[in-house]
Amino acid sequence: MSSRLLEVCVVVGASPKKLWEVCQAVDSHGSLEKVLLEPEVLHVLAPPFVSRPQAERKAGRSHWRRHHSFLRKKRKRRPSAVTAPIQDHFSGGDAANGREGSEDITVPKDIDLIALPQLCFPGGLQVTNVKREDQFHFLVFTDVFGNKSHGVVMQCYRPVQDWMSSCENGGKSKLFSAYGFCVISKYPYFTVLKDCLSCLLIKLRTCRFLDVEEKVKDFAAKLALVPIPPPGQLHLMFTLHHLTIELPSREDKDHPAVDLDLHLPFLCFRPQPLLQVLSCLLQEQRVVLFSADWARLTLVAEGLLLFLQPLSWQQPYVPVLAEGMLDFLMAPTAFLMGCHLCHFKEVAAETNDLILINIDNGSVSTSCSDTVDLPEIPSLAADCFTQRYQSLQVHFDLDQCLRVSCSDINDQRAQRRVWQRNLNHRIQGITTELIVNIFRDVSSHLNYEHRVFNSEEFLKSREPAERLFYKNVLETHIFHRFLRDRLNKKMDNFARLELSTRSEMQQIKASVEVPRRPTMQEIQARRTSSLLENRLINGQRMSLSNLVDDQTLNFQRIIMFDPAQRMPPKPVKVFQLPEFPETLSFHAVQSYYCELIQLLGKAINSVQIDNSSLLARYFYLRGFINLLCSRRLDALADFQTLHKTDTAIFPTQLVTRLVDSLMQEEQQQAKRRPELKRLILKVKTENEKPSVQLDDDIKKFELPRKNLDREEFVRCIQEGGIVKDVATIHRLFDAFTVGKSKQVNPELFKSFYTFWKETETEAQDVNLPTEVIDHLDHSECVYKLSSCVKTSHGVGKIGMTQKRLFLLPEGQPGFLEITMFRDLQEVKIASAPFLLVRIPSLRIRTSGRLEAFEANLKTETELWDLMVKEMWAGRKMADQHKDPQYMTQALTNVLLMDAVVGCLQTQRSICAASKLAYFDKIKHEGQLTCNDSKDEMNPKLWVALSGGRLVVFDAASWSMLQDSIQVGESQLNCMLGLVHEQVWIGSQDSVIYIIDTHSLTCNKQLTEHRYEVTGLTLDAGEQQSSLQTYSCSRDGTILQWDSSSLKVKRQFQLSCERLSSIHIHGDALWCCCGDSIVELRRSGTPQRRLLLPEHLRSSSSHFSSFIVIPEQGQLWTGLADSGDLYLWHTDGHEPSLEKISLTGCSGITCMIRVKDQIWVGCRGRSGVGGQCGSQLRGQLVVVDPQSHMVSKELQAHSDSIQTLCSAEDRYVLSGSARRDGKIAVWKVE
């Protein structure tokens, strides 16, 4: 794609010959009737406008690239294309020279000059005897591949006589004709190009006719010098005819730049009609926009399509139809088109099933009726949007009432830009909120592994009144592409907003594979929602946001908050381009680029080192400008720095072509520069890899029609969204095939699937008494209710949650807790006498209670016996391993048992269900024991926050034990746990704080260090009775402590720039010293020092972390500003060095060794993260120390990973920086 503002400039108007004929006719008849002329292309101007001077090879050639008037004969244009600007720079500018003297012009291949004249004059080209006002309108062109170009047309009226230089007599009558000046760009810079054309208009009004062509050439050549800013928060500014024009950047590489007033649709439509329009677009109707103002058509259409993001319109899109193109409206497919209001009645009369939208009066109708009979957007989402709509302040003048009047037009324009930018951000937040409210639940019906969307279950989960709307939307191309992005886990504004507005319960459900049931919190919220709806229906008008103090209300499928407060606009940096050269010769243009490179260099030097996002964008621009100047090696160096800083905006294709274009001498010079050599090698290596295409396939879940073997059964169960775990599915398969052939027939699968889904649906409508909701935890769900049975505590229903059993008394409100699964002592089947028979019953004994609970469950007894025992065993397993996932798995087993019994309805159903009692079977085989020690059952997770604060979590339940322990006011650098008694914490204030793990208080401090404490390590080789602890501080001081007496046993000083961490391995103490890793003997004597690799010593690089594997003679090191791991082989006399590159990593922050793996915490850049294209992201990389290869790449954080720790070598916990502020738990495999 072009990286310049201007793609082509076209002048359109009537030919002088036609104008002469009109003048002669008027002079002959003496009157002017309505005369419409056919517009033609008069001039085409496309870059490059200058090339290398021919004086280097042949003197006297012009610096201009010659452009001739477009051939006026209406013949098919040759399929020639303008050489792209970048290509010309690769060839040194000689491509243009070879074309000099050609009588045909060359134009970009995707610009249709045949249709362009009609679009420049959609209402026709008319000759008048009155000069009309100059006016603008906007165009969008789409090629067959869906690529868009954007045009702005200025219609300028001038006397006919001025344009008839070829005729001796231009006629006696004073006539006027319009000429169109169309500027086309690959980017939707509507406002910018309109401002530029307005500057051109000032020039044209004051110049002679003979100078017009030169003025337009000069104008187009200047716009061709303006580069496009990279995605992010860097805007460019340039001055044209004393007018300051700001060129905004794209938010990220997947979104277009927004350079129009997004509130225009809000000015044209009230909330209800606007929602109708959006509903029509979401359902892919045949939509036609009408307006008496051609300019409004494109601006309103573009705004409407931006409101739908991230859903992208896939159907034909022609926002301006010329009079000769109205037959396009007969197309049978869906489309979005626009035409003049004067054709409204004609279109309505001659077409069927069109949605007719009158922009001027804000009405929506069809070609058959004044009303639209289409399903509306779901009411709760629509109501939320309406409230946001009404709260918007869309009038600039009201905002300016209190402000000082500007005496300078550029200052006034700057104020308007800031106001418009903030308003656009607010509107985008509101419309994104609308789309999230409509499609929030889509992700819960996706199977990412098999790329299946269960549309049937999704529709069932909708309210009955909403189902037709969703049914129509689900069949559209726009929704199919949206689904594809969700399945590819695209991180766009929709995904970010949907994630950030999930309730705590929704987050837990999304992170854990647990069957869908409403939590007590969701049931309570649903009741609040129903109460609110009833109050609104009964006429009690009330603002939703006034119902809650923090303006946040979580319903089941809707969010109520101010998106602008949650996602405020990011600050923008504006870079001023140099003044355009007076004469656009080759040397003048080169001087302009040199000045621009110098300004970018100054900007780079002035940016703070931590603002890497802005630095990356400066390097991008400077690399591009260096390329335009044929400074290939300088460009390559800038792109290499960019690659280290932000890979999200790295122009891979451009750099590949740059590398391929290097001359022999340049290649030799690049090889002598290690950083360029690495980049060239990386580019060539990447090009050799097979390209990875994102999977576009989306399957719709269908029930099987033939017998299923084990493998097919696994696939169907997973695609149906029932269970993901393969081992569990295998046990389910065995349950269905007991005593039969090893196949499941489709009728049995359908019966099981139907029972499972109906149970889920019934659970959504469960009506629990208020007493139950009050007694249960917010996160608890009721998974099973028995029929009404007689128990030892009266008649009622037995309920089961993931934590307990309880009794719902029949006929009266109440709640009786039977037992917590953790407190169970015995579960067995008994019998209760009834008349002359004995009825099967379930007897439950609980610790702390003398009396057993007994329930006459009759035919349900055996099933409940299986379920309760499995939950009991799962609870014990979870407590023993400190892993709540075991309880979740046990719950899944129990629900599968229930479904198996429910669908089989035979004597063998209990036998089949027992195949799923996995944990109870382990318990009876003697593999499961339980330790009742509270200390052993509850390990603690200690988390250091900013400002000297600590929080402590119960690592079994992830509940917070202590929300804040204050230890000083400074940053906490390191922590170390000593057995189960103490936690040592090293602080930036040079103090070591000691926390008692029982009282969770800080009663002791070690103050022997004089500089910030940076590292702590424990000597595991000593006796437990006298643990030896080492601490280090930034200045190189290392202290050895006696942990029992808290006294310093030994102190030694290491000469280094910054000592950041220490580790003990055998008899050696390893120290990370910035530019080196030092191995010390226990006495403190240096044994060896490993320095930074030679090519990194001259930069500011430093070691950030290291791992020693003494048995393999390996030292793994990471650098803070490099995405490479460096492996030292320390066995030999001279350590050898090996480099392992990590994809997408710009720096390594931490490393740990877990089992036979090395886990590396990285800092990277991604378009998935933050709202700009360079959002920080945290990446985890798992490396195999045997093969030295990356085995896994894991992503869960939207900021850099700060720390890693291991839990019993079974889990790894990663903690991220403040923008993300989360802890992720990873299972080690």
pLDDT tens, residue by residue, 321-339 = 998 899 999 988 999 999 9
**Backbone dihedral region for residue 835 (phi beyond 0: left; psi -120 to 50: alpha; all else: beta):** left
∠ CA 553-558-560, nearest 5°, is: 35
Task: Say whether pLDDT at 537 is over 70.
Answer: no
Q: Is the dihedral of CA 392, 398, 404, 408 positive or negative?
A: positive
Measured CA angle at 87 (ends 85, 92), to 5 deg: 95
Q: What is the pLDDT of residue 1?
A: 45
Supply the pLDDT for residue 964: 77
Report the alpha-carbon distance of residue 1116 to residue 1109 in Å, rounded: 8
Check residue 647 and report its DSSP letter: G
Q: What is the mean predicted confidence (pLDDT) over 1095-1103? A: 74
| Residue pair 940/954 in contact by the 8 Å Cβ criterion | yes
Per-residue pLDDT, averaged over 119-136, amounts to 88
Give this prediction's pTM: 0.72
Distance CA 278, CA 376 (A): 9
- Structure tokens belonging to residue 738: 């007991």
Please give the Cα distance from 438 to 442 (Å, whole number): 9
454-484 in b/e form (b: 16+ CB < 10 A) is bbebbeebbeeebeebbebbbebebbebbbb
Where in 160-298 does DSSP place strands (E)?
176-185, 234-240, 243-247, 286-291
pLDDT of residue 95 exceeding 50 = no
Mean pLDDT (whole number) for 636-654: 87
Residue 645 has pLDDT above 90, yes or no: no
Residue pLDDT, tens place only, 708-741: 898 999 999 988 888 888 899 999 999 888 867 7
Which of 188-202, 205-219, 549-563 holds the top average pLDDT? 188-202
- Residue 32 reports pLDDT greater than 80: no
Tokens 């780079």: give the residue.
Answer: 604
pLDDT at 57: 43
When pLDDT is averaged across residues 1197-1202 and rounded to a whole number, the result is 86
Cβ atoms 1203, 1219 nearer than 8 A: no
Q: What is the pLDDT of residues 842-868, one digit of tens each?
A: 999 999 888 999 999 888 999 999 999
| The pLDDT of residue 58 | 44
Mapped onto helix, strand or coil, the DSSP state of residue 995 is strand
